[in-house]
Structure 1
Amino acid sequence: MNSRKIQVNSVTSLREFQQYLVQCNNIIALCGAGLSVASGIPTFRGSNGLWKEYSQIDLATPEAFQSDPSLVWQFYSARRYQALNAKPNKGHFSLAELSQRLNNNHNKKNINLYDNLYNKKFITLTQNVDALSLRANHDPNTLLQLHGSLFDLKCTGFLCNYHEENRFTHPLVPALELSNLDKAFHSINEKLKKRKIVSDSQNNNNDIEFEEVDDQNVQYDPVKDIKIEDLPHCPKCKKNLLRPSIVWFGESLPLNVIDKADNFIEENKIDLILVIGTSGTVWPAMGYVERVIRQGGKVAIFNTEIDLEELKKDGVGWGFKGDCEKLLPKALEPLIGKSEYYSTRKNYH
């Protein structure tokens, strides 16, 4: 099926978007990797798709884990370390504030406090596994992690149903501790973040370009030879290995998460879908966008890259090109207030 094209307006259409936003009763946010770039978490493309000369895509498969669980666990231990050392940005905090306000607005006692929020509903579908939305205090009841989380674990045993959420411990086992050289290697993304901030302060253009850091000559320790018995094991069956509870390539999205998203769309007429840090033209983003449009809802894209030529102007939404961290607080201001009042809250972890 050919996807319907989305109108892309300039940031000058912000007022028009906000006027529509305050009228919406049911809102969905769909988040991709671009939301976390400002926190120092690179996309696959931004990191050249490599980890210690290994293809990240090749490591993120059930076959890779079965073949070499030590290698795969070292890769994910490094990703956990990187995510734990990152901090939620204003984009995460904006969505978290929206989730908190809209999730607590159904009690009529609060109607004077949130008079323009009463009876509105909001849900976030995130493709990110870094848990930064959760750590920004996003309401967990309205946060659906389509691809799982680096900090959730599950047993690999077929007959064991052990599952653990939000294990913010590093390392999980002593054998997975990173060397000082590896820690320095993963701090390269913090350098990217700092360079971007400097670049932003010198450039008032809304079309923000991220400076790439050349990591070709960065040194790091080779992959360690870790014995199977020294890797994380299931505390329930005490036999099988644990694995990150994320969706690897070739695996299906979690059915319970998909059901919650589907039920929300089917039970409520969606007025608006916010597509954040992703183009909205690939699965599953495109599927949700299409469903909202068929219901008569509108689309707003917030991303550093929007294909203006590809997207046909047929009046179904807006496109705001730039950094999600900068655009979201301003765009959502009519519902969440000024960012300085909520972005300084303590993180979940």
Structure 2
Amino acid sequence: MSPSTDVASFHTYLSSARRIVALCGAGLSASSGLPTFRGAGGMWRNYDVMRLATPEAFKRDPGLVWQFYSMRRHMALQVTPNKAHYALAELARKHPAFLTLTQNVDGLSVRANHPNDSIRYLHGSLFALRCSGYLCDYVDDQNFADPIVPSLAVPMAKKTVEQRAPGPASGQSDGGTPTEETLVYDESVELQALQLSDLPVCPKCQQNILRPGVVWFGENLDLDMMDGIEHWLEQPADLCIVIGTSGLVYPAAGYAHRVKELGGKVAIVDLDVSSGGWSSNIFDWVFEGDATKIVPEILKPLIGDM
């Protein structure tokens, strides 16, 4: 049987669901205007993220890696949470058994005031900091300083933008309005060769530099967090809502399959469901389109109008 696109039938099931889990990916934040790292400025287009987001890269050139993550932090702070982030946060406040599992590291769920006890950041956060030393346990889960230290300031340049008002009838410019200055990434600035003394130092041990609190390629997800998710899922969920994730990354994708296998139902919200790696028979509902419009609408019975 093909999955349904009927919002009314989803609303009926949602209203009776006792345990709900949301699985979120990059599509949740797409409408906030957050670009991928290759949109982070021309200076990064010649770099392979696989060579930057690794423990080996950080050991080899921590200054380069920190400049990359400082750019990503800065970009994330230039956008705001969208209505889908706020809808999930509101559901977390109103539903006693709701858990969000997000693969996003952009900090937008935090800034949407999503209750921390009902969300798990599978891949960490750009705005978390950890000591890079093995013997120090320092962690700062929410550091939104921009820049963290002066040497990591993102290069910006002023750009003059002409603001033209439309003509009275045709919609064409009248050519007479003034210009204004705005800040843009300065792609002409070369990356600096930073020293260890230029990078943020752990305030606890005062010996090691801090590192971004994200999960790099080759690293394991946080075991305590994973155990907590397993414990939450011991009581089967009635509903899994997949939002903007391809189903190609595990263990995240496996949670939706588990809900389905244990008798629950699965819905997906995505711009293009067919482009992912999901099996065709996992979904009971498919809602294709912009998450910022669809998520508040399908959650309306529990969160009201937003």
The interval holding the TM-score normalised by the smaller chain is 0.7 to 0.9
Q: Does 1:56 align with 2:49?
A: yes
Is the contact between residue 279 and residue 301 of structure 1 (CA under 8 Å) also seen in structure 2? no
For 1:275, give the aligned amino acid: V
Q: Does 1:244 align with 2:220?
A: no
For 1:123, give the aligned amino acid: L
Counterparts of 1:32-111 in structure 2 under 5 Å? Answer: 32-43=25-36, 51-103=44-96
Residue 324 of structure 1 is matched in structure 2 by 291
Is the contact between residue 52 and residue 220 of structure 1 (CA under 8 Å) also seen in structure 2? no
Counterparts of 1:264-279 in structure 2 under 5 Å? Answer: 264-266=232-234, 268-279=235-246
1:278 to 1:123, Cα distance in 2 relative to 1, 3 A: same
Residue 31 of structure 1 is matched in structure 2 by 24
Is the contact between residue 247 and residue 277 of structure 2 (CA under 8 Å) also seen in structure 1? no
Kindly report the root-mean-square deviation, in angstroms, between the aligned alpha carbons of the 2 structures: 2.4
SS in 2 for 1:54: coil
Post-superposition shift, 1:311?
Answer: 6.3
2: CA distance, partners of 1:40 / 1:138: 20
For 1:283, give the aligned amino acid: Y
2: CA distance, partners of 1:102 / 1:263: 18
2: CA distance, partners of 1:57 / 1:82: 20
> Rg bigger for which structure?
2
1: CA distance, partners of 2:251 / 2:9: 28
Q: Which residue among 136, 146, 149 is the counterpart of 2:125?
A: 149
For 2:190, give the aligned amino acid: P
1:257 to 1:49, Cα distance in 2 relative to 1, 3 A: farther
1:311 to 1:162, Cα distance in 2 relative to 1, 3 A: closer
Post-superposition shift, 1:305?
Answer: 1.5
Deviates more, 1:47-56 or 1:149-158: 47-56
SS in 2 for 1:269: coil
Q: Which residue among 253, 262, 267 is the counterpart of 1:286?
A: 253
Post-superposition shift, 1:228?
Answer: 1.1
For residues 207-255 of structure 1, the C-alpha deviation after alignment (integer angstroms, 9 at most, x for no partner) is xxxxxxxxxxx83421112221110111111111100111000101111
Is the contact between residue 41 and residue 86 of structure 1 (CA under 8 Å) also seen in structure 2? yes
Is the contact between residue 125 and residue 143 of structure 1 (CA under 8 Å) also seen in structure 2? yes
SS in 1 for 2:192: coil
1:47 to 1:294, Cα distance in 2 relative to 1, 3 A: farther
For residues 301-336 of structure 1, the C-alpha deviation after alignment (integer angstroms, 9 at most, x for no partner) is 111111189866658511111111111010100110
Post-superposition shift, 1:178?
Answer: 1.4
Residues matched between the structures, number: 280
1:173 to 1:323, Cα distance in 2 relative to 1, 3 A: same
Is the contact between residue 49 and residue 55 of structure 1 (CA under 8 Å) also seen in structure 2? no
1:23 to 1:48, Cα distance in 2 relative to 1, 3 A: farther
2: CA distance, partners of 1:309 / 1:179: 36
Residue 134 of structure 2 is matched in structure 1 by 158
Post-superposition shift, 1:179?
Answer: 1.7
1:292 to 1:309, Cα distance in 2 relative to 1, 3 A: closer
Residue 129 of structure 1 is matched in structure 2 by 105
Is the contact between residue 43 and residue 187 of structure 2 (CA under 8 Å) also seen in structure 1? no
The runs of 5 or more residues in structure 1 that have no matched partner are 1-5, 104-120, 185-217, 340-349
Q: Which has the higher strand share?
A: 2
Post-superposition shift, 1:50?
Answer: 8.4
For 1:228, give the aligned amino acid: L
* Identical positions, percent: 48
Post-superposition shift, 1:44?
Answer: 5.6
Post-superposition shift, 1:9?
Answer: 3.1
Post-superposition shift, 1:164?
Answer: 1.1
Q: Does 1:254 align with 2:222?
A: yes
Is the contact between residue 81 and residue 109 of structure 2 (CA under 8 Å) also seen in structure 1? yes
Post-superposition shift, 1:38?
Answer: 0.9
Residue 156 of structure 2 is matched in structure 1 by 180
For 2:92, give the aligned amino acid: S
1: CA distance, partners of 2:278 / 2:217: 28
SS in 2 for 1:275: strand
For 1:8, give the aligned amino acid: P
The runs of 5 or more residues in structure 2 that have no matched partner are 160-185
For residues 22-46 of structure 1, the C-alpha deviation after alignment (integer angstroms, 9 at most, x for no partner) is 1100000011011111111124687
1: CA distance, partners of 2:225 / 2:204: 24
1:269 to 1:245, Cα distance in 2 relative to 1, 3 A: same
Q: Does 1:15 align with 2:8?
A: yes
Is the contact between residue 8 and residue 320 of structure 1 (CA under 8 Å) also seen in structure 2? no
Post-superposition shift, 1:139?
Answer: 0.7
